[in-house]
Chain A
Amino acid sequence: MKSRIIGSAFAAALIIFAGYAALYIAPVDMRQGQIYRIFFFHLAAWVSTFTALTIVFVSNISYLATRRQRWDSLGVAAAEVGVACCTIGLITGPLWAKPVWGIWWTWDARLTTTFLMWLLYVSYLMLRGLMEDPRRRATLSAVFGIFAFLDVPLVYMSNRLFPTQHPQPVFFGGPNSGVDPTMAKVIVLCMIAVLVIMIPVLIDRYKVEGMRAEVEELRQEVELRTSQPAGTHLDAPARTVNVKEVL
């Protein structure tokens, strides 16, 4: 409990400092003015999305290889966090594009890929919601997750042949793609801040999955006990709780 409080305090301090740095410490952009500050959280959200979806892919493969339930839980937890981060990226993107490019959206490679990625993982989560049997749900959604991940580079490639409006990556892009060193530090800080707040959510979401399985087990046990002794109640409708309602 104590470590959790310290952790939360540390995360809060980091977030506040990162926000302060993004808004005040980083220098104003030469061409875009203040609005470029959206960039710090836009890119950080994107990095988290990519990290989360890579975790989904790894967990999907690991689940199929080992059949351990925890890989399935990690997969769905990471997929949800990934979709959340992707949503942040998709909202901040147009809000930045409108003042800078003059349009909300353009069908360029990276924008399209991100949007489709979001759709793919939303359907991954939907697929999971529509299957009851846990083992089958885990196996089949893992297969779908692998297909979805394989699709992302294909989407990107298919869009790259169109002229693009989205800027080329400024980091690690070669000697002339430089940014102000303070900006570089702030962006790294923001990435760490977003990852630090997303990891606890990921862990919580992972726990939810484990507890769901526990609830399922307990419920079966309860049903077994209530139907066993008398035997005459077998055709009486057992008290079942709507799983959806509880979760």
Chain B
Amino acid sequence: MSTARAAAILLGKELRLEFRTRELLNATVVFAIVVVVLFSFAFNPTPDESRHYGPGLLWIAFLFSGSLMLHPSFARERSNDTLDALRMAPVSGFAILLGKMLANFIFLSLAEVVLVPVFAVLYDVSLAGIVGRLVLVLVLGSIGIIVTGTVFSAISAHARMRELLLPLLMLPILAPLLIAAVEATSALFSRRPYLDQTWAAFLAGFDIVFLTASWLLCDFLMEE
């Protein structure tokens, strides 16, 4: 079976599992909204202030919800002993990882689709005219969060205190992504919005580096 087909089947399985209850997605969205609301108490959300701090807080919310959301990705397989079944399936390790990454990407994107309009309303940021470019930045940033996060979720699933360990592993690694994503989003939220190509390219580079690394190292992640 080709990697793409195997990954697609696994993606279908992940989606079915999640949409049966939507537990993870609901919790993630609510958590992200809580972060955004709490931040409004930390500073006074006038339009100028929002332009200044908004992108940072938006990405912090994505990063934190990502680090919470990614934890069950492998921990669930482990506690149900289904990881061994996956390993025994005649598919490559990368297909398993890719299926998980795609599913997580969809979950995070859905959370973002809910959160960005809420953010725009609460912080008085106009999205008119920048939606396409904003989606590009969000996609590039989310890929980076998901790729490293899914790999680290596979790592932390085998450790003690794994709920705490995953953010600990993931957040420092994502620091460069946070900087680039915040700068790119700031450029879009400024009075004369533009797509900062340096930062967009940096985000793409980040994604490529870690996607390649996870492709090269996935067999070590999956072994018994």
Contacts and interface: CB of A to CB of B under 8 A. Distances in A.
A131 B169 contact: no
Interface stretch (B50-58, B80-88, B206-214): B206-214
B169 to A, nearest CB: 5
Contacts of A131: 158-160
Interface residues of B, number: 31
B195 to A, nearest CB: 16
B209 A154 contact: yes
B159 A127 contact: yes
Interface in A117-136: 119-120, 123, 126-127, 130-133, 136
A158 B180 contact: yes
B58 to A, nearest CB: 18
Interface string A93-127: 00000000000000000001000100110010011
Given A123-B169, A130-B165, A159-B179, A147 B158 contact: no
B206 A147 contact: no
A147 B155 CA distance: 12
Contact of B213 (A139, A140, A147): A147
Contact of B172 (A119, A132, A133, A140): A119
A64 interface: yes
Interface residues of A, number: 29
Interface in A156-196: 157-159, 161
B217 interface: yes
A154 B176 contact: yes
- Pick the most buried of A136, A144, A155, A158: most chain B CB atoms within 10 A of its CB: A158
A148 B173 contact: yes
B221 A140 contact: yes
Interface string B150-167: 011001101111100100
A146 B202 contact: no
- Say what secondary structure dominates the interface of chain B: helix
A146 B209 CA distance: 12
B180 A64 contact: no
Interface string B165-205: 10011001101100110010000000000000010001001
B73 to A, nearest CB: 15
Nearest to A120: B172
A111 B179 CA distance: 15
B19 interface: no
Interface of B: 148, 151-152, 155-156, 158-162, 165, 168-169, 172-173, 175-176, 179-180, 183, 198, 202, 205-206, 209-210, 213, 217, 220-221, 223
Given A131-B160, A146-B213, 10 more contacts: A119-B172, A123-B169, A127-B169, A139-B220, A140-B221, A143-B151, A144-B152, A151-B173, A151-B176, A157-B176
